[in-house]
Structures are given as structure tokens and as C-alpha cells.
Amino acid sequence: MPVAVYVLGLSVFALGTSEFMLAGILEPLARDMDVSIPKAGLLVSAFAIGMVVGAPALAAATLRLPRRTTLIALLTVFGLGQVAGAVAPTYAVLFASRVLSALACAGFWAVGAAVAISLVPVNARARAMAIMVGGLSIANIAGVPAGAFLGQHAGWRSAFWAVAAMSAVALVGVVTLVPRTRPATGADAPRLRNELRIYADRQVWLALATIALNAAAVFALFSYLSPLLTDTAGLAESWVPWILGLFGVGALAGTAVGGRIADAHLFGTMYAGIAASTVVLGVLALVAHNPAATVVLAFMLGFTAFLTAPALNARMFNVANAAPTLAGATTTASFNIGNTLGPWLGGLVIGAGWGYPAVAWTGAALAAAAVGTTAVASRLHRRVAATRVVAGGAGTAASPAADASVDASVDASAAYGRGPSAH
């Protein structure tokens, strides 16, 4: 695997720490800013909204710019956004700094994913994306708990300063190790009109819906995991960083497993991970008052949620193969539509007085819907593949050996997304 892919994973570690660390500092932040927990939770949605808007907009705006230069600029803006958050005097300024950081983060994700995909062969896409998503998982293991620890002992603003420092380290890595690229010219130059054609494909929209629903299911709960642990399970606030770290360990393990199996078993990985998340969230809703069970289920949710991440990323690049930049942007936007929807729905449930366990039920319902969209996508994929096999074999006498060859070809197309036929 090229070293540049690992550098991008390191950068994602900084981005992911900023995106998710609010789960560990929500309570001290709310107290300091004199806002309610649901209103503080909207800062998670603010970041996600910035990602949703920023990913496609910045991908389109930078389509013909050198990718390395774009990554450097976006990472610089992201770091400055962290500094703005650290010194924010009011909730409104903090909210604005989260949106600014998210815009830069979204652009980096979209362009960085396209760079990672371009550096590896088509049958290693899920592994490359697993390394990038692995940066996110490690952020949950180390970055988020460290942010929670800092928030409890040195004030929540110290967590923002720490992310700003990590961003500077990541910037050095991108400058020194990501290869320079020149924009394509002439007939090879990327054209926005051509890339926009991917949105005429039903499979792109099904992939978008599946990613968004799966993310919403996880973040409906994760955004409020800290108060659920303290108010419902009865754990001391000092336990929160450790349990967030345990979630991250599960996420890293899930990403590693998913990255190894998703290239060969794309839909199987999606089914297994999303269905398992549905069960975990449902059980968590039932046993949320049991501290030991809640801790175990937090780990399991990290594993099941991130098991699907490499497959979901690779699937989007497969169905939008002709538009790699917008494929990355669409994936980023999809995840963050879910990251916006989940905390918002969770806040509504809490505001209605149904309690934190009801947030887990909300997540379970969203995950079940994601299983449904996966089933529709799988059925459509099989139907299209079968149609092409029949069309390709029309007028010939197929032998058993030929049938086996065709089946293998279809399986390879399904797993690796070779060419425009991989839908």
C-alpha cells in the first residue's frame, strides 16, 4: 500500500477527532456555554451540515486543481477552524467555527478519498478506504477519549487546541509525502457535467441512502452516549473517556475486518454489519440501565458500525466509477447527512421526554431501514448482472464450463466494480 495512503489516514485521524470529540465534552461545554444538552448536541449536526454542503461544493470547485495543493489548503483552513473554536467567546461563534472546519474537512475527505483510490488497483479499493477509515477509528480510540480527558481536566477548549496541533502534524505529512499531481488537460481533463451524470443512476442513490441511514443509526446514539452512560447507566463521568475509547477499539477492529473481506464480499459485509448494528442498538435500548451490558454493547456497536465502512465506501466508488471526485464527495455527504439526521432525531426524542434509551430505539429503526435499502440495491445489482450474462450468451451453446466462467466473471464484477458494468 503506498505510504501516501497512510498519510491520508493520519490526516483523517485529526479530522475525525474534531468531528467526534464533542461526544466526550458535551456536558462541560454545555455548562460553560450555558446551553442545554440537546442544543450542545446541535454542534455535532453543525459539523455534519458543513460536511454535507462542503463535500460536493468543494469537490466541484477544485475539480481541475492539483489534488495535493487542494489537500494542503483544506487542511490549513481546518486547523485555523480549530483555533477559532478554541477561542470562541459565544455559542454562535463556536457554531460558526464548527461549520467552517466541517467545510474544510469535507473537501479533504472528498479529494483525499479520490487520491487514495487513484493510488491503488481496483481490487484494493476497500483496503485503501479501510486505511482512511482506520484513521477515523483510531480517532475514536485515542483522539476522542483524550479530548474527553482534556475536557474534564483542562477545560473543553484544550481539546480544540490539541486538534489544531494534530492538524499541523498532518499538514507536514501531506506536504512531504503525498505525491504531486498535475491537472489533466485536453480530452482527459475532468468535466463537472460528465461527473454529474452519475446522479442519473439509481444505484448511486441507493448507495447514498444506505450510507446515510447507517450513519444516522450510529450517531443518533453516539452523540448522546456520554449522558446515557452517566444519567441512565449510572456510571461516573470519569468512565466516559474509557468507554469512548472502547467504542473506538471496536471501530478499529471492525474496520480492519471489513477492509479484508469487503473486496470479495461487498454486499455480504454490508448486510452483516448493518443487521448486527440493528440488533446491538435494540438490545442496548432494553438494557441501558445495566452498566456492564452498556459498556459491552458500546464496544460491539463500534465494531458493527465500522465493519461496513470500507464496503460502503467501495460500493459508492464502484457505482460512480466514471466520476471519482464526485464519488468521494457523495460518500462524504452521505455519511454526514446521517451524522446530521441522527443527532437531530436523538435530540427530538430526548426533548420529548422519552429518555436516552429511546435514542437507541431510534438508531435501531434507522439501521433496519438501511438493511432494506441494501436489499433493494443487491436485488437490482443481481438483476442487471443476470441480464448482461444472458445477453452475452445469446445465440451460443453454453457448456457447464462456460457457465462457471460467466459466474466467476459476474462475481468479480460485483466484488471489484470493474468498468461501467459494475452496478
Residue from 14, 41, 303, 336 nearest 144 by CA = 14
Task: Look at residue 418 in the predicted model and tell me its pLDDT.
Answer: 31
Task: Cell numbers for 368, please give them.
Answer: 433496519
DSSP character at residue 233: S
**C-beta separation of 255 from 306 below 8 A:** yes
Q: What is the pTM of this model?
A: 0.67
Residue from 179, 192, 173, 182 nearest 119 by CA = 179
Q: What is the CATH number of domain 3-180+199-385?
A: 1.20.1250.20
SS3 for 120? Answer: coil
Q: What is the mean pLDDT of each run of 10 residues along the chain (423 residues)?
A: 82 84 79 82 77 76 78 92 90 88 84 78 73 73 76 84 90 85 56 71 87 90 84 82 81 82 81 91 90 90 86 78 70 80 85 85 93 88 63 44 32 32 32
Task: Look at residue 145 in the predicted model and tell me its pLDDT.
Answer: 76
Task: Look at residue 296 in the predicted model and tell me its pLDDT.
Answer: 92
**C-beta separation of 15 from 78 below 8 A:** yes
Task: Look at residue 188 in the predicted model and tell me its pLDDT.
Answer: 53
Task: Look at residue 213 in the predicted model and tell me its pLDDT.
Answer: 93
Task: Look at residue 324 in the predicted model and tell me its pLDDT.
Answer: 63
Domain locations in the chain?
3-180+199-385
Report d(CA 149, CA 145) in Å as an integer.
Answer: 6
Angle at 225 between CA 222 and CA 230, to 5 degrees: 175
Task: Look at residue 152 in the predicted model and tell me its pLDDT.
Answer: 75
